[in-house]
Chains A and B, each alone.
Chain A
Amino acid sequence: MNAAMPILLLLCPLIPALVIFFLREENDRLRTVINLGSALVKLLLIAWTLEGVARGVEFEYRLEFVPGLYLLLRVDALSLLFITLSSFLWLITTIYAIAYFRGSENLSRFFGFFNLCVFATTGIALSGSLITFFLFYELLTLSTWPLVVHKGDDKSIAAGRTYLIYTMAGSAALLLGIVWLEGMTGPIEFAGEPELDELSRLSLTVIFALCIGGLGVKGAMFPFHGWLPQAMAAPAPVSALLHAVAVVKAGAFGIVRFIYDVYGIDRVAELSLGLPLAIVASFTIIYGSLRALQQTDIKRRLAFSTVSQVSYIALGASLAGPFATIGGLVHLVHQGLMKITLFFAAGALAERRGITSIDQMEGAGRHMPLTMLAFSIGALGMIGIPPVAGFVTKWYLGVGSLQGGYTWVLIVLAGSSLLNAAYFLPLLYRAWFMEPAARPAGEAPGEGPAGLILPAVVTALASLAVGLFAGFALSPLGWATLIVEEQYTP
C-alpha cells in the first residue's frame, strides 16, 4: 500500500483525463460524475496519507525508466501541503467550471486537459528527485496551454503564445541548471543530502540563478511575470487554476523545494544567495501592487495582485529562519484560497451581470450579496486584515524577517498592505456603499446557480477558517510548522 499510494494519487486525475478525452461532447452527466468522483476519491486518499505521514509512515515509489535514472515519487509533509491544497481546490474548481461552462462547447477537451493539468501538479508535488520534478513541470506547461487558448479567439491565442514562449524559455533555463548540476553530482534526490562541495562557488551561483530564474517564470516573479496578466483572456475557471491551483503555485513550490531540499538553507546562506532573492521577491511584491493599482479591469488587477502575492512565498523561503519559512510555506495555501475566491467571484460577476471593469461595480453588493461577501473576505485577507488567512502569513513573515535581522522587509510588508488596501478597498466601496446603476433590460435576475456562487463562498469561509483556527494542529499553519520542525531544523 505504501508504495502504491503515490501511484494511486497520480491515477486519480490521470484516468478521468484519458476517459474524458474519448467521451462524447453531449455526455454531460457521465463527465460530471467522473470529474467529481475522482476528485472526491483523491481527497479521501489524501486524508489517509495525511494521517500516515503525521505518524511517520514513508510513502515511496521508484521506477527505473532509463538505466540509472529513476522516476521517484515520494510523499513528505511539504508535498502533502501542496497536494492537499491543489486537490481541495481542484474539487471546488470543477464544480465551478461545470456551472460556468453549462451549455458551451468543447467541454470534453477542456475537462480532459483540466484533469491532465491536475495530474501534472500532483506529480510535481510528489516528485522525489530533481529530474522527476522537471518531467512533471514540463507536462504542466503543455497541458495548460490548451486551457489558456480554450476560447479560441485572437486574444486567447496571443495569450497562449506568450505563455508558451515564457514558460518554455524558463524551462530551458531550468533544464540547463539541472543538467549542469547533475552532471557534476549525479542524480539528486530531495530526501538525501546532495554532495555539492565539488562545484565551485561560481558554478553554484550560476546554477542557482538559472534554476530559480527558470522556476520564477511560472512563479510570475519580476521580470518574468508578463505572461500572467495576458493569460487573463482565458475563462474564469482557468484563471483560478493558473493562479491558485496549479501553475503559479508550481513555480513557487519549485523554488521552495530547490532552496530547502537541493541546496539547503545553510548553503544558500553561505553563498549569500538568500539576500538577492529576497530583494527580487520584495521588488516583485511592490511592483505587482503598483501595477495592480493602475488596472481598471478587475481580472487584470487580480492578476497583478497574484504577481505580488506569490512572491511572499519566495520571500519567506529566501529569508530562511523558522518563522519566515513557515510564513512562506503557509502562504502557498493561504494565497491559493484567497485568490481563488476572488477569481470565482469575479467570474460570477462577469457571467451574471457583465461586470468586468471596476467602474461597473457600483451596487454589486445589493445584487449579488453572497458573491460580494466572498470577494470582500478574500480582499480583506489579501490586505492582511485579521482573522483572514493573509494576516497569519504577514505575522510570520514579519516576525521571521526581524529574527533574521532583515528589518527592511517590514517596510515591504507595510507597503504591500497599504497598496493592497488601495487597490481592493475601492472595489468594496463601490460594491457596498454606492447605489447600483439602473438595471439594463434583459439582465439575468438573481445571483445565479449554486454551482457558480457557492464555490466562492466555500473558499472564502475556508480562508477565514484557516486564519481563525490557525492554532489548530492540522491547520495550514500547524502543518507548515510541522514541516519546518521536522525537516529543516535539525
Chain B
Amino acid sequence: MNAEALILLAPVVALPLLLSVLALSPIFNKRALDLLPVAPLPGLIAAFLVPAGTVLEAPALLFGLRLEMTGEGALFLGFASALWMAAGFFARAYMKGGRDLAVFCAFWCLTLAGNLTVFLAGDAATFYLAFTCVSLAAYPLVVHERNVRAMRAGLVYIVLALIGETLLLLGVLLAVAAADGILISDVRDALGASGDSLTIALLVAGFGIKAGMVPLHVWLPLAHPAAPTPASAVLSGAIVKAGIFGLIQFLPLGSDAGTWGQILMAIGIFGSWFGILVGLTQSNPKTVLAYSTVSQMGIVIAAIGGGLEVGAGAVAVAAATLYALHHGLAKGALFMGVGVMQKIGRKGSGYVTAALTLVALSVAGLPLLGGALAKLAIKPPLGGGVAELLVTASAAGTSLLLLRFLFLVQDLRSKSNSARPPLAMTLPFAAMGAGALVMPWLLFEDWSGQDLAYAFELGNLGTALWPLLAGGALAAVFVGFRPRRLPAVPEGDLVVPIEALARRGMAAWRRGAETLPHAAPEVRRPLLAAAGLWLGRVEGRLANWAVAGTLMVLLLLAMLLADRLLG
C-alpha cells in the first residue's frame, strides 16, 4: 500500500458516498443534480492511472476492507464510470424541475458508490457490502416516478434483489468457510480445488439475478422501463454488469467445474434467444431494450461458462470484459437516445435516428463497428460447434429486435415539430455511442490476443454479416405480411403468473392471521390460511404454562432417548 493508492483509490468510493450525504443537505438541495456528473470522476481517473495490482487496505473497516485494482476491474471501472458520468450529465438536463430530486440524487450517488466498489473489492465481505449497496440503493431510482407501474416494478425488483442477496450471501459464506481467508482470490482458488456444486449454484443464482440471467431476469424488463431514462441507462449499462463481474471474480474460471460450464453455456444461449423472442412482442421501446440486455447478457454468461475449463479462464474473462464494455456503452447510449427522442420534434430527428441505428448495428455486430470486434472476441470461449453457431445466429435476432426498437422509438417524438433537445442531453448520448463504436478498436488486440487484421479476414466478415442480412430479410418479410397481432407477452413474462400466485398466498396467510386467536373453525381453508391460523393457535396454547412445561418435559425425554440411541 502506498500514498498513490490512497490518493487515487479511496476517493472512488469516498466521493460518491460524501456527495450522497451532501445531496440531502440543505446547501445543495436546489442544485443536487449538479453533483451527479462529479461523483464518478475519481473512478474514471483511477481506471486510467492506477496500475493493476495496486492494493489499498483498511484493516479496521469491516473484516479488513481491501480494494484492489485488477486488469479486468480497471476496464469495468472505466466504462462504468464513463457511463455514470454521461448519464449524470444527461440526468441534469432530463430531470430538471422534477420532484424529490435531493432523494433521487442521494440514492444515485449511493448506487454509484456501490457499483464502482464492486469492481475494486479485494475481499469477499467488501464485495458483498458493495453488491448489496447497489441492489438496495437502486430501489428508489426504480420507483422514482411513484406511479402504479413503477411501484409494481419496484416490488418485483426488491423481492428478487433480496432473494439474490440472500442466495449470494449463502454462496459467499460457503466459499469463505472452505477457503483460508476472505480474499476473493483465495476464495476462488479454494472453490476451484473443491468444485463444490452447491456453492457454485448459489453464486450463479445470486449473481444471475443481477445480471438478468433467464429465468431470474424478470425484474429487468419491468424495472428498466419504469425508471427515469438516465437511471435506465445505468441500470442496463452498468448495474447489470456488477452481476457479470461477480461471476468473473468468484467462479473458478480456468479450472474444471464439472458440468457447470455446459450448464452456464446452455442457460446463456437459451437466454440470448429468449430475450430476443419475448422482446419482439413488446411495444414499449425501453422494454425492448431491456429484453435486448437480457439477450446480450446471455451471450456473456455463455462465454463465462466456456471459461470453466482448464486453461480457458483468461480468454473467457477477457472476452466477457470486452463484450461487457461494449454493451455497457452502447446500451447506455440507446437508453439515452430514447430520452433524446422524447424531447425532439419530427424535424431534425433524422440525425438522432441515424445515430441510434449506428449504435444498434454495432450491438448486432456489423463489421467495422465496435460491436463486431466484441463479438469476434467472444467466439473462442464458446468453443465452436452448435454453441457458436447459435450465438452467431442470435445476431440475426438482435438486428430484428433493434429494428423493432428503432421503429417504436419514432412514436416518442415530441408533438411540437421544432422541439430541440438540449445539448446537455445529446452530447452524453453521442459520447457513449461514439465510445461504443471506437473503444473496442483500441482494446481489441490486448483483450482478444488477436491482431486487428484478424477482424478483416473474409471469413470473419462473412460470419458477422450474414446474420444481419438474415435479420433484415426477416424484417422485410415481417413488414410485408403485416401480421395482425403479435402474441401478447406481458412485460416481465414469467413474473405475471408468479405474482398472481404470491398474491393469493399472501391473502390466504393474512386471512389466517386475522382470524386470530380463537376463530370459529371453518370447514375448508386454503393451506396457507390454515398454517397462519395454526401458528396463532399454537401461541394461544403456549400462554398456558402447563402446556409449555409439558412440551419442555417431552423435549427432554426426546433428548434422553436420542442420547441413548446414538450414544
**B166 and A206 contact, CB distance less than 8 A:** no
- Tell whether A410 pairs with B563 under 8 Å between CB atoms, given A223-B542, A425-B158: no
Interface flag for B15 (CB, 8 Å): no
Please report the C-alpha to C-alpha distance between residue A387 and residue B543 in the assembled complex, in whole angstroms.
38
A391 contact set on B, CB distance < 8 A: 129
- Tell whether A433 pairs with B146 under 8 Å between CB atoms, given A402-B173, A402-B174: yes
Q: Taking the nearest CB of chain A, how far is it from the CB of B186, in angstroms?
A: 13
Query: What does DSSP make chain B's interface, helix, strand, loop or mixed?
Result: helix
**B173 and A223 contact, CB distance less than 8 A:** no
Please report the C-alpha to C-alpha distance between residue A280 and residue B554 in the assembled complex, in whole angstroms.
13
Please report the C-alpha to C-alpha distance between residue A410 and residue B163 in the assembled complex, in whole angstroms.
14
**B552 and A469 contact, CB distance less than 8 A:** no
Residue among A290, A467, A468, A471 having the largest count of chain B Cβ atoms under 10 Å:
A471
Chain A residue at minimal CB-CB distance from B541: A223
Sorting the interface of chain A by its residue count into under 10, 10 to 19, 20 to 34 or 35 or more gives 35 or more
Interface flag for A357 (CB, 8 Å): no
Interface flag for B60 (CB, 8 Å): yes
Interface flag for B476 (CB, 8 Å): no
A165 contact set on B, CB distance < 8 A: 545
- Tell whether A387 pairs with B62 under 8 Å between CB atoms, given A272-B566, A294-B513, A417-B169: yes
- Which residues of chain A in 428-468 are interfacial with respect to chain B, using CB atoms and an 8 Å cutoff? 433, 467-468
Interface flag for B63 (CB, 8 Å): yes
Please report the C-alpha to C-alpha distance between residue A293 and residue B509 in the assembled complex, in whole angstroms.
10
Please report the C-alpha to C-alpha distance between residue A18 and residue B322 in the assembled complex, in whole angstroms.
74
Chain B residue at minimal CB-CB distance from A275: B562
Residue among A273, A395, A402 having the largest count of chain B Cβ atoms under 10 Å:
A395
**A469 and B61 contact, CB distance less than 8 A:** yes
Q: Taking the nearest CB of chain B, how far is it from the CB of A8, in angstroms?
A: 31
Please report the C-alpha to C-alpha distance between residue A272 and residue B567 in the assembled complex, in whole angstroms.
9
Q: Taking the nearest CB of chain B, how far is it from the CB of A278, in angstroms?
A: 12
**A276 and B62 contact, CB distance less than 8 A:** no
Sorting the interface of chain B by its residue count into under 10, 10 to 19, 20 to 34 or 35 or more gives 35 or more
Please report the C-alpha to C-alpha distance between residue A32 and residue B566 in the assembled complex, in whole angstroms.
59
A417 contact set on B, CB distance < 8 A: 166, 169
Query: What does DSSP make chain A's interface, helix, strand, loop or mixed?
Result: helix
**B61 and A394 contact, CB distance less than 8 A:** no
Chain A residue at minimal CB-CB distance from B553: A209
Chain B residue at minimal CB-CB distance from A398: B173
Please report the C-alpha to C-alpha distance between residue A20 and residue B33 in the assembled complex, in whole angstroms.
55
A191 contact set on B, CB distance < 8 A: none
**A224 and B560 contact, CB distance less than 8 A:** no
Chain B residue at minimal CB-CB distance from A433: B143
Interface flag for A213 (CB, 8 Å): yes
- Of B65, B535, B548, which contacts A290 at CB under 8 A? B535
> Can you list, as one digit per residue, whether each of A381-419 has a CB less than 8 Å from chain B (1) or not (0)?
000111100010011001100110000001001100110
- Of B65, B552, B556, B566, which contacts A223 at CB under 8 A? B552
Please report the C-alpha to C-alpha distance between residue A47 and residue B61 in the assembled complex, in whole angstroms.
22
B558 contact set on A, CB distance < 8 A: 276
A184 contact set on B, CB distance < 8 A: none
Interface flag for A54 (CB, 8 Å): no
Interface flag for B132 (CB, 8 Å): yes
- Of B173, B532, B535, B555, which contacts A395 at CB under 8 A? B173
**B125 and A395 contact, CB distance less than 8 A:** yes
**B566 and A421 contact, CB distance less than 8 A:** no
A226 contact set on B, CB distance < 8 A: 539, 542-543, 548
**B567 and A205 contact, CB distance less than 8 A:** no
Interface flag for A470 (CB, 8 Å): yes
**A205 and B173 contact, CB distance less than 8 A:** no
Chain B residue at minimal CB-CB distance from A222: B542
Interface flag for B162 (CB, 8 Å): yes
**B169 and A468 contact, CB distance less than 8 A:** no
- Of B61, B173, B174, B548, which contacts A224 at CB under 8 A? B548
**A273 and B559 contact, CB distance less than 8 A:** yes
A169 contact set on B, CB distance < 8 A: 545, 549
> Can you list, as one digit per residue, whether each of B64-100 has a CB less than 8 Å from chain A (1) or not (0)?
1100000000000000000000000000000000000
- Which residues of chain B in 134-191 are interfacial with respect to chain A, using CB atoms and an 8 Å cutoff? 136, 143, 146, 151, 158, 162-163, 165-167, 169-170, 173-174, 176-178
Chain A residue at minimal CB-CB distance from B125: A395
Interface flag for B339 (CB, 8 Å): no
B551 contact set on A, CB distance < 8 A: 223
Please report the C-alpha to C-alpha distance between residue A467 and residue B125 in the assembled complex, in whole angstroms.
12
> Can you list, as one digit per residue, whether each of B27-70 has a CB less than 8 Å from chain A (1) or not (0)?
00000000000000000000000000000001111111100000
**A399 and B146 contact, CB distance less than 8 A:** no
**A385 and B61 contact, CB distance less than 8 A:** no
Interface flag for B443 (CB, 8 Å): no
**A294 and B173 contact, CB distance less than 8 A:** no
- Tell whether A385 pairs with B136 under 8 Å between CB atoms, given A209-B559, A410-B174, A417-B166: yes
| 12 interchain pairs, CB-CB under 8 A | A209-B556, A209-B559, A224-B552, A395-B173, A398-B170, A413-B170, A418-B163, A418-B166, A421-B162, A468-B62, A469-B60, A471-B63
B interface with A by C-beta (< 8 Å):
58-65, 125, 128-129, 132, 136, 143, 146, 151, 158, 162-163, 165-167, 169-170, 173-174, 176-178, 512-513, 516, 532, 535-536, 539, 542-543, 545, 547-549, 551-552, 555-556, 558-560, 562-563, 566-567
New A-B contacts (6) at CB < 8 Å, excluding given A225-B542, A385-B165: A209-B552, A293-B513, A418-B166, A470-B62, A471-B62, A471-B63
